[in-house]
Amino acid sequence: GESVGLHLPTLSVQEGDNSIINCAYSNSASDYFIWYKQESGKGPQFIIDIRSNMDKRQGQRVTVLLNKTVKHLSLQIAATQPGDSAVYFCAESPQYGNKLVFGAGTILRVKS
CB-based contacts of 54, cutoff 8 Å, min separation 6: 66
The answer to whether 49 contacts another protein (rule: CB under 8 A) is yes
Among 20, 46, 54, 59, binds another protein (CB under 8 A): 46
What are phi and psi for residue 39, nearest 5 degrees?
-95, 160
The answer to whether 42 contacts another protein (rule: CB under 8 A) is yes
Which 3 state secondary structure label does DSSP give 82? helix
Among 44, 73, 85, 108, binds another protein (CB under 8 A): 44
The answer to whether 24 contacts another protein (rule: CB under 8 A) is no
Q: Which is nearer to another protein, 43 or 112 (CB)?
A: 43
